[in-house]
Amino acid sequence: MKRRIFAGNWKMHLGPDDARQFLKTFLGRYRHESGREVWLFPSAVALEATACATRDRPDVVVGAQNVHWEDHGAYTGELSVPMARAAGARAALVGHSERRHLFGETDQDVARKIRSLLRHQLTPLLCVGEKLDERAQGLTLQVVERQLGALAGLDAASLARIPIAYEPVWAIGTGKNATPRDAALVHAAIRSWLAARGVPARACVVLYGGSVKPDNVKSLISEPEIDGVLVGGASVDPASWAEMVQARPD
């Protein structure tokens, strides 16, 4: 059975009380299906509240939006992987375009975070994608391959644990999105990169992110190359989110 992941990145929305109310509404509407997983990435202050509210739902994975690669130290404002795990996180986003382009996160930073997460038995969800000018220059695949370099040196078993989200930067929060076919071509290239490093096709989970909404999610997941979606703004409304995660491909 195809494994599908529907991941919601709440970004800088929903504090602890709002997160609890969201989950009360969402879980009342959502009916789990085999092979389908919901991943939620709340703000750091709502991480523990979200994990506690989903404690009895193993099909709902809660993760951190960002972590630091060091376990402890003088890093004001940062969240270590052990802290995230203690708060109930089972995963974390790494390499999200907003971290890269607003906060200067480098490919080397991404690589360090991935290894820290794996060391502490949390799952990284690696985000890759090109900016508009890079797309216009035909550099999409080169950019994505460079960003995949953060996984260099990991063995096939470790690589198979890491879902990858292709999120073209020009499509995030803009209302624009790659066509399902455009996204599928990049997804196929990501799968080829993984296959060349020994990852079986059945183990690859590749998501699409970028202005995913209730009115386009069905067409996106209908593409065989797309295993699920990483959703931003549309994931903070519980009714909309419940509709999206229960969408069926054509």
Just list the catalytic residues. Answer: 96, 167
Query: Could you give the maximum distance between any two Cα atoms of the chain, in Å?
Result: 51
- DSSP state letters, 97-135: HHHHHHH---HHHHHHHHHHHHHTT-EEEEEE---HHHH
Query: Locate tokens 């090109």: which residue?
Result: 130
Task: Please state, in angstroms and rounded to a whole number, the distance separating the CA atoms of residues 139 and 63.
Answer: 31
Cβ neighbours for 97, distance < 8 A, ≥ 6 positions apart: 127, 129, 167, 169, 172
Task: Please state, in angstroms and rounded to a whole number, the distance separating the CA atoms of residues 191 and 98.
Answer: 24
Q: How far is CA 24 from the centre of its chain?
A: 23
Cβ neighbours for 76, distance < 8 A, ≥ 6 positions apart: none
